[in-house]
A = this chain, B = another copy of it.
Amino acid sequence: MSFGPRDRSALTPLPGGGVCAPTGVRAAGGAAGLKPSGRPDLALVVADQLSGAAATTTTNQVRAAPCVVTDEHVAAGQARAVVINAGSANACTGDVGLDHARATCAEVARLVGCEPGHVLPLSTGIIGVTLPIDTLLSGLPDVHARLERSESAASAAAEAICTTDTHTKQVAYEVSDDAGSCRVGGMVKGAGMIEPAMATLLGVITTDAPLTGAVLRPMLRQAVQRSFNRISVDACGSTNDTIVVLATGTAERPPGLAAVQAGIEAACADLARMVVEDGEGMSRVAEVTVAGARTEDDAAALARAVCASVLFRAAIHGADPNWGRVLAALGASPVRFEPARVEVRFAGTTVCRFGAAASFDRDRLATRLDAPVVPVEVHLGQGDASATMLTADLTPQYVAENAYYTT
């Protein structure tokens, strides 16, 4: 019934540090002139030495050039640097877009002193706009010159990757068990075009645990599956979604794999929640749990169906315990269940029992639903599996933001 790792005993949150929390990682952000506003738009995350690396990129058939190149480069399981630009998604840009992504990697490699194949490129911004490659390349030396391991450098990088985000999103944990300790840090951006069935948005996770790409890959996949793949702002999948993880191996006495896994899962879950909390135009989060399912996949698919319903999300905005919309959304899913066994709770109050209306004080409940986070629980009565998914409410502001501005 929770979001993120069930066992957090190895984890201690750090007050700051983001991607620079682990040893052996430097970061920087700056303004290269890619955003018309002149705001920061270019970020680097660089490991002091070649590191274990893994990535998950969008499952959308329309894949941005940086996703293609990141997949190519990360296949060997190693990386030194991640370069991220905002202002242009470099998606639907044809062969020119691939050339631009490779030219970006080549310039970062020259500055850092590594192979171009050890640089992972990420882009975010408007689809179909050609990357102003000369502007980007000429901005790289300045950003590279600012690289350092500090809270302010991590924050500068986190700021430079934002688009419609209203604030930066960072996380940092100390991870320790009997064997030793390490750190996990991360940053993420994303506020719109966020859909659950894929890798989702842009994010960088760092750790100083000594992990190879082969170990990192399944670790990241599991962490993303239960975090970024379980949030939805608008059920719209992006062409650019990418999460990268770098493991520098510079921790002096690292903890065991289970503790590191918990750290990476917690970082992903925390960052995923921040994305929903900063969803475009949103006013509150719905935390939708489907329990009593036959399998976790069934539970996740049904929770996703509820989160994708614009009518449900509008009801959440209106603090309306409209369980009829929940049942209609569940019923439209291909996952089979028995409607007559369904129970639905809004903020702990049972509003539907045996698939029909339960008696409750509507006015009193509505007052409690006017809150930053609204838990919605569906009990199917068919098994023991459950899954929790987060979504933002649908507001007139979201529509206005996406109708009157090209994003």
How many copies of this kind of chain does the complex include?
A: 2
A182-212 to B contact mask, C-beta < 8 Å, 1/0: 0000000000110101100000000000000
> B130 contacts A357, CB within 8 Å?
yes
Question: Nearest chain B CB to A130's CB is how many angstroms away?
Answer: 7
> A129 contacts B327, CB within 8 Å?
no
List of B residues within 8 angstroms of A337 by Cβ: 61
Is A320 close to B, CB under 8 A? yes
List of B residues within 8 angstroms of A328 by Cβ: 60, 62, 127, 193, 236-239
List of B residues within 8 angstroms of A405 by Cβ: 318
A207-236 to B contact mask, C-beta < 8 Å, 1/0: 000000000000000000000000000111
> B239 contacts A322, CB within 8 Å?
no
List of B residues within 8 angstroms of A198 by Cβ: 332
> A311 contacts B130, CB within 8 Å?
no
A52-77 to B contact mask, C-beta < 8 Å, 1/0: 00000000111100000000000000
Alpha-carbon distance A198/B328, docked complex (angstroms): 12
Contacting residues of chain A (261-313) with chain B, CB-CB under 8 angstroms:
308-311
List of B residues within 8 angstroms of A406 by Cβ: 315, 320, 322
> B340 contacts A94, CB within 8 Å?
yes
Is A383 close to B, CB under 8 A? no
Is A49 close to B, CB under 8 A? no
Q: Which of A9-17, A170-178, A395-403 participates in binding chain B?
A: A395-403
List of B residues within 8 angstroms of A402 by Cβ: 310-311, 314-315, 318
Closest B-chain residue to A94, C-beta based? B356
> B324 contacts A126, CB within 8 Å?
yes
Closest B-chain residue to A316, C-beta based? B403
Is A346 close to B, CB under 8 A? no
Question: Nearest chain B CB to A321's CB is how many angstroms away?
Answer: 9
List of B residues within 8 angstroms of A253 by Cβ: none
> A332 contacts B394, CB within 8 Å?
no
Question: Nearest chain B CB to A126's CB is how many angstroms away?
Answer: 7
List of B residues within 8 angstroms of A91 by Cβ: 324
List of B residues within 8 angstroms of A327 by Cβ: 62, 92, 127-128, 239
List of B residues within 8 angstroms of A332 by Cβ: 60-61, 195, 197-198, 236-237
> A398 contacts B399, CB within 8 Å?
yes
> A339 contacts B61, CB within 8 Å?
yes
Alpha-carbon distance A333/B61, docked complex (angstroms): 8
Of B60, B325, B354, the contact of A236 (CB 8 Å cutoff): B325
List of B residues within 8 angstroms of A128 by Cβ: 323-324, 327, 352, 356-357
Question: Nearest chain B CB to A312's CB is how many angstroms away?
Answer: 8
Question: Nearest chain B CB to A310's CB is how many angstroms away?
Answer: 5
Of B126, B129, B317, the contact of A403 (CB 8 Å cutoff): B317
Given A340-B94, A399-B396: A192 and B324 interface contact (C-beta under 8 Å): no
Alpha-carbon distance A308/B310, docked complex (angstroms): 10
Closest B-chain residue to A330, C-beta based? B62
16 A-B contacts, Cβ less than 8 Å apart? A60-B328, A62-B328, A89-B324, A92-B356, A93-B357, A127-B324, A127-B327, A193-B311, A193-B325, A197-B332, A236-B328, A310-B399, A310-B402, A314-B398, A320-B403, A320-B406
- Per CB-CB distance, the 7 closest pairs between chain A and chain B, nearest first, are A127-B324, A62-B331, A396-B396, A318-B403, A237-B332, A314-B402, A60-B331
